[in-house]
Amino acid sequence: MTARFARQSGFVRRHILTAQPRSLGILYLFLGLAAVTVGTLLSLCIRIHRVWPAWPFPLYGTVQPEDYLAMVTMHGTLMIFFVLTIVPQNAFPNLVLPQQIGTTRMALPRLNATSFWLFLVSFLVLLAAFFVPQGAPVSGWTSYPPLSAIPIAGPGQGAGMDCWLAAIALFCLASVLAALNLLATIACKRAPGMRWTRMPLTAWAWLVSSILTIPAYSVLLAACLMLIGDRNFGTHFFIPPGDFVNGQLVGHASGIGPGSPLLWLHLFWFFGHPEVYISILPAMGLTPGIIANFTRRTVHSYRVQMISLLAIGFFGFCVWGHHMFVSGMNPYAGSAFGFVTLAIAVPSSAEVLAWLGTLWPGGMSLKTPLLFILGFLSFFIAGGLSGPVLAQPSLDSYLHNTFFVVGHFHLIMAMAGVFSLFAGIYYWFPLLTGRRMNEALGHIHFWISLVAAYGTFFPMYFTGLAGEPRHYAQLRGPIESFATILPLERGITFSALLLACTQLIFLWNVFRSLFRGEPAAPNCWQATTLEWAPVSFFESRTPVKRGPYEYGPRGELQDYIPQWESVPKQE
């Protein structure tokens, strides 16, 4: 009995109540899996309701407009915060970052563990919004006031909105703490000889996204606290004087505290735009390494890519106004934000050119991790190229808040992001479990997902050009021209269902490979970066002598020199 208890508490201490980065990384993956499951189910409900609005959901009944908006709000919030932020920015760095820079520990392990538990509480508080009276909020993931500031403005804007705000405020705190730990780790824990220019680009990406996280999430935290004040403590940061909602005067009668909803938009998008880069930069750091590994060619433009990551991070803070061209912001500011946004397209284009330049000579080994990186690249281009259209204020005046934008960010952020997460999981699975994932299942998973994802999100460009606005549960009313896009709507729904079902193949592959996967040799991809180094390297503290991507025929025996090898370079 005591022995069993000791064994159990050993398991709990090693894997749950732990400050071990790798165990925390696994916990983060489970949190991300829970969030992505709920988020995906919500998106399927959304798609089904749009095509068959009269069909009552089993065990629930007919979907009301407020149910639809609540599902959209929660889908966006879960996916953006708990999947596309937590997994690339928290799960992956915990799994491999310390090893990649030549250590086994984080700089601030307890802080790191604390932020995981804060994320978990935040997740539970967010889900609680479904179960409070009147349900989840209806104001979308951007929560523009006064709709989000006035409980009587709609169902779900009472207790549900309070849950949302509390959850996001907690999430901000957790993100800032986690980013502080990553920054401290990269700054102080690098192995001897691990110079800045010898760090893998993944480490650079996590460095830049952590630098973005701290100011961006601090500002969102402040904005959330201000909105909580407006809702509960009589402040009027975002509620203008004379505001008249649902038959009641809710703003001050006259000029006292001239609050403005635009203040929230500025604060929110000052967070919201860098957030896009926080979630996609880790993918941009992972891509060159995986391309180099599976083409066995070195990364030629390491410095260009490093500088591009930094430039994207810097410009990422200067473009938030491109979400606000039609918000009532001064139109001269619109011009300025438009030009800066076009400027940010330059480093992104440089990155893509560098990757394409390594890929098109061919001769690559088409393993599943590379396939998913190719998918990432394909979606990054498909979604990225519509960015310059939306960056032009005059064109955005037509396209803003239409499905053109929905297609744009689902391709570049959601699909590109998720495909890079799959690439990371397929790539690091042998490192974490000692087994490989099944290649055949991986290929099937990839190709069906690729086709279904294009089928789901590419047609949205066309429905958006037709003028279809966001957040409409049904396309009814005087707009007859929308009848032409109904067949596209149906196609999108079928593709979305296929896309979601295909992910079961992935889950089965993970589950099966955990127990029955082919045992993997150490460093089975013949990779060069330090997370694949033998344990003896970390114990010996041997200085690092070379760059992260030394691939290419260098002798008779092997076509790569790992970073942990101390033999001098043969030139």
User: Which residue in 104, 481, 540, 558 binds another protein (CB under 8 A)?
Assistant: 481
Q: Which of residues 294-333 bind another protein (CB under 8 A)?
A: 295, 297-298, 300-301, 304, 326-328, 331-332
In this structure, what token pair is assigned to residue 354? 């560098």
Interface with another protein, residue 392, by CB under 8 A: yes
Interface with another protein, residue 140, by CB under 8 A: yes
Quick one: 221 or 250, whose CB is closer to another protein?
250
User: Which residue in 39, 316, 334, 548 binds another protein (CB under 8 A)?
Assistant: 334
Q: Which of residues 450-479 bind another protein (CB under 8 A)?
A: 462, 465-467, 469-474, 476-479
Which of 376, 392, 381, 386 is CA-nearest to residue 406? 386
Residue 43 CA to residue 66 CA, distance in Å, equals 15
Q: Give 452-505 as a DSSP string.
A: HHHHHHTHHHHHHHTTPBTT-SS--SS--GGGGGHHHHHHHHHHHHHHHHHHHH
Q: Which of residues 269-298 bind another protein (CB under 8 A)?
A: 295, 297-298
Task: In angstroms, give the least distance from the CB of 105 to another protein.
Answer: 37
Q: Which of residues 166-195 bind another protein (CB under 8 A)?
A: none
In this structure, what token pair is assigned to residue 526? 């013949």
In this structure, what token pair is assigned to residue 122? 């935040």
User: Which residue in 88, 102, 261, 548 binds another protein (CB under 8 A)?
Assistant: 261
Q: For the packed helices 416-433 and 486-516, what is the interaxial angle rounded to 10 degrees?
A: 10
The Cα diameter of the chain in Å comes to 83
Residue 378 CA to residue 383 CA, distance in Å, equals 9
Q: Which of residues 227-246 bind another protein (CB under 8 A)?
A: 240-246
Interface with another protein, residue 151, by CB under 8 A: no
User: Which residue in 111, 228, 359, 448 binds another protein (CB under 8 A)?
Assistant: 359
Any residues with CB less than 8 A from the CB of 466 and at least 6 apart, and which?
A: 481, 482, 484, 485
Candidate segments 22-30, 195-203, 349-357, 526-534, binder of another protein by CB under 8 A = 349-357
Interface with another protein, residue 354, by CB under 8 A: yes
Q: Which of residues 50-79 bind another protein (CB under 8 A)?
A: 64-66, 69
- Mask 25-54, x = binds another protein (CB under 8 A)? ------------------------------
Cβ–Cβ < 8 Å for 297, 560: no
In this structure, what token pair is assigned to residue 349? 């284009």
Quick one: 235 or 401, whose CB is closer to another protein?
401
Candidate segments 37-45, 150-158, 202-210, 560-568, binder of another protein by CB under 8 A = 150-158
Task: In angstroms, give the least distance from the CB of 426 to another protein.
Answer: 17
Task: In angstroms, give the least distance from the CB of 325 to another protein.
Answer: 9
User: Which residue in 39, 102, 135, 251 binds another protein (CB under 8 A)?
Assistant: 251
Which of 105, 93, 232, 99 is CA-nearest to residue 165? 232
Interface with another protein, residue 547, by CB under 8 A: no
Cβ–Cβ < 8 Å for 267, 223: yes
In this structure, what token pair is assigned to residue 198? 């010898």
Determine phi and psi for 560, rounding to 5 degrees: -155, 155
Interface with another protein, residue 526, by CB under 8 A: no
